[in-house]
Structure 1
Amino acid sequence: MSSERVAVVSGGSRGIGRAIAEALGGQGYAVVVGYASAADAAAEAVDAVTAAGGRAVAVRADVADEADAAAMFDAAEREFGGVDVVVNSAGRMALSPVADLDLADLDALYRTNVRGSFVMAREAARRVRPGGAVVTLSTSVVGLRFPGYAAYASGKAAVETMTQILAQELRGKDVTANVVAPGPTATDLFLDGKDQAVVDHLAKQPPLERLGTPGDIAEVVAFLASPAGHWVNGQVVRANGGIV
């Protein structure tokens, strides 16, 4: 029997998700790269995982759609023999004061970030093999409470609670469930709509005095996904350089 570990990474074509896929590839994983629409970026991510030392296939999927989510797991089982690690990195951002919030934006955000996390977690709970791990992505803004982030942070707060309950529900299966909550991280999703002054201000917030990188977050996820991180369970890791 092969000792190769297999990961499903949603949102794996860009930003933090792609960095996670590459990091897992560097540890010898076979990776299913889930993506919403950017087929070219997904193909590049597959190439990057392969170059890092892993194997990979790309699967187009809306994480909030049950059939699409199941298709990613089906691909992992068909191509690589099973699923050991699930990382739900797919997400969307909508920034607005509560008073001005467009409820259509709220519905779209919750559909991807909250429903999508539940759909992925449900599939993971049914299919991840013993010794495996589930990692969801949140945000340190859940604790920092930046103005304008109410929709995004409240959805991620739901993800944190769901994941910690999932860890309890996985009792006896030898599967962990943890959350990684990045702080300000230099991705297109984060930088979009922010001027340089805002970016510079946020970069000064951590004691380390810089923005995080996708690689910073990916290394934390890769540790939690690995056998070395298996004793960490039911936790929220705020990977933010020390912002309080």
Structure 2
Amino acid sequence: MSDALPERGLNTQNAQSTQNALSARRTQRGDPPDSAHGGGFAPFEPPRRARGGGAGWQRWQMGSLDPRDMASEAPADILPAEPAPPPIDFAALDAMREGARKEGYAQGYTQGQTQGYGDGHREGYSRGLEAARNEAAQLQALATNFRGALAGVDDHVARALVTLALDVARQLVRTTVAEDPSVLLPAVRELLTSEPALQGSPSVLLHPDDVALVEAHLHGELEAAGWSVRPDPTVARGGCIASAASGERDATLGTRWTRVVKALGRDDTWEPPHD
């Protein structure tokens, strides 16, 4: 009961406020106050039409519910609806994605190839240079060894050639003496004219087979120098020995041979060893 009292007072206040607002509106329009109507709410009166035949008023009619009519009656200032987005072309997207992938791959391949070529060139150059240096060192060692071996070969060949030459010369002298004993005569003349002259009954010792030859060709020279000729079987043919009280001079083939080979730095004997 107590709760209903405030609510009733609130309703009374609202009604009074509404009544005051209606009275103020009637006063503005020049209507008689509420007392003219018996002191309560005034009866509802439709709004009066202004003079001039009802200008500004129109009769309300229910509009058509057809969407086509509603579209035709739409205000002109309403913007048209945006068109629907085109459908997504997945094939074109795949093609674009594949093209981008190929382009990226090509760029990466080119860049990698260029960088790889540069790195490979430098690495290959370093390895090639190192290999060339190793080969050059090996060739240098080989050349040094080859020079040493060549020097040894040269020395061996030189010795072999000298030995061969001496063998040929030895055989040639023997053949010449056997075929032409007169080759002894220059050796005898050399002894006769050699200095200093021998003193004390000088004589020439010859192989018995060479005595007649020397006396036949050098008899006058020997007699003028005071020399005599004596046979000596120990003297080989083609050689001679000058003997006197003051000394001897050996002009045998063996002695002359020894002097020649010593000049060549050899020690080959006139009579080679027999196997």
> TM-score by structure 2 length?
0.22
Structure number, greater radius of gyration: 2
- Pick the structure with more helix per residue: 2
Q: Which has the higher strand share?
A: 1
TM score, norm. by length of structure 1: 0.25
